[in-house]
Homo-oligomer: A and B are copies of this chain.
């Protein structure tokens, strides 16, 4: 069953609005969830919607109002998200940081107490479409499932960082967690009875394993940082950087004993035009992109690709051919649709 993207957005927005979310926020949240699915980030798109709906119904996700401005120095901004929908907050933050960067060259914005922000890569085009370089990072201070290098007890969340790099053609869209894999992917593999493709986790004793059930055992194991047992000090460094940018600059995080599902967020946008010029920037990034694509592949059937190239190809296909959501997602949503008398989406 394939659906037009607009029809999926309509359906998701109506579900969110029926649960009680402001219509303007419901439209934005739906746009970026469907965009994530269309880009192939299927664990962080509509797959999140049932949980968002539950959080709205339980009162854990706030449904109306604006973030509170804790500090605004022009290029350095802090918001209290007050548990408003993170997808809406992050889209809004990237837009504001892009506006400010176009005036001053760069702008950074940290958000405390956001709700879950979905797929970081889905927000990057807001900046790269205008020739702007964007960084987005997030952490969830209420959760811990990634161990520091050499440790057995988890401290961090997967702490992703996304980078959108404009070039003289398609942008490069990077979205990588500090851990080898994500919480959502681990949950999906558990549900589907599958294993990690490598020894990406440890059990509570610190033994390496490819079993995603290790994370929910009693006592629980942990995900490993990027680099794994061999050079996991890299993922450890990335996680510490992300936690400092998100919770440190936002002035709120693990030290506050946060308990609700959510995020601390860091957004930064640079306008290359106000550094050495947009054309000079894209000349370098386009040239580097060419070099990567020209590197002969180790496996002749798998040419070297730029981060985001597959996602953009999928997005274009979904825009013209529609989208088939990952298995199980529509079935979960139809239960909510019935409960709230929302019309199921028409397939193509």
B-contacting residues of A (Cβ < 8 Å)?
70-71, 73-76, 78, 104-106, 108, 110, 112, 133, 135, 144, 147-155, 163, 165, 172, 174, 176, 180, 197-198, 202, 206, 226-228, 230-231, 233-237, 240-241, 243-245, 247-255, 270-272, 274-277, 280-288, 291-292, 294-299, 302-307
Known: A240-B288, A255-B283, A297-B150. Is A276-B172 also a contact (CB below 8 A)?
no
Find out whether the CB atom of A233 lies under 8 angstroms from the CB atom of B291: no
Partner of A75, one of B104, B248, B281: B104
Contact of A206 among B202, B226, B298, B303 (CB under 8 A): B298
Distance in angstroms from A247 CB to nearest chain B CB is: 5
Q: Is the CB of A152 within 8 A of B297?
A: yes
> How many copies of this protein are present in the complex?
2
Once the chains bind, are B105 and A288 in contact (CB under 8 Å)?
A: no
Which B residues are in CB contact (< 8 Å) with A287? 253-255
Q: A299–B150 contact, CB under 8 A? A: yes
CB contact between A276 and one of B78, B276, B307 (< 8 Å): that residue: B78
A230 and B228 within 8 A (CB):
yes
* Contact partner, A106, options B71, B106, B176, B282, Cβ 8 Å: B106
Tell me the minimal C-beta distance from A40 to chain B in angstroms. Answer: 14
- Please, how many angstroms separate the alpha-carbon atoms of A245 and B134 in the complex? 11
> Which of the residues B231, B254, B284, B294 comes within 8 Å of A247, measured between beta carbons?
B284
Q: Which residue of B lies closest to A226 (CB)?
A: B234
CB-CB under 8 A from A235, the residues of chain B are: 234
Give chain B residues whose Cβ lies under 8 Å from the Cβ of A73: 104-105, 274
Check A75–B78 contact: CB distance below 8 A: no
* Interchain CB contact under 8 A, B254 and A307: no
The contact of A151 among B70, B197, B304, by CB within 8 Å, is B304
Contacts of A241 in B (CB 8 A): 135, 163, 165, 174
**Nearest CB of chain B from residue A220's CB, rounded to whole Å:** 13
Residues in chain B near residue A150, CB distance under 8 A: 297-299, 302-305
Q: Are A105 and B104 in contact (CB under 8 A)?
A: no
Distance from A237 Cβ to chain B, minimum over Cβ atoms (Å): 4
Q: Across the interface, do A254 and B291 meet the contact criterion of CB distance under 8 Å?
A: yes
Residue ID in chain B nearest A244 by CB atoms: B165
- Distance between Cα atoms of A74 and B104 in the complex (Å): 8
Contact of A76 among B106, B197, B245 (CB under 8 A): B106
Whether A298 contacts B152 by the Cβ 8 Å rule is yes
Contacts of A174 in B (CB 8 A): 237, 240-241
Most chain-B Cβ atoms within 10 A of its Cβ — which of A106, A151, A163, A247? A151
Q: How far is the CB of A160 from chain B (nearest CB, A)?
A: 11
Closest chain B residue to A304, Cβ basis: B151
Name the B residues within 8 Å of A297 (CB-CB): 150-152, 206
Q: Which residues of B contact A144 (CB under 8 A)?
A: 291
Tell me which residues across on chain B come within 8 A of A147, comparing CB atoms. Answer: 295
A-B contact pairs, 21 of them (CB 8 A): A70-B276, A74-B105, A76-B275, A78-B275, A78-B276, A149-B304, A150-B297, A153-B294, A165-B241, A180-B231, A227-B234, A237-B307, A240-B288, A240-B292, A244-B281, A248-B282, A249-B275, A251-B275, A251-B283, A253-B287, A255-B284
Residue of B nearest to A246 (CB): B284
Nearest chain B CB to A165 CB, angstrom units: 5
Cβ of A101 to closest chain B Cβ, rounded Å? 9
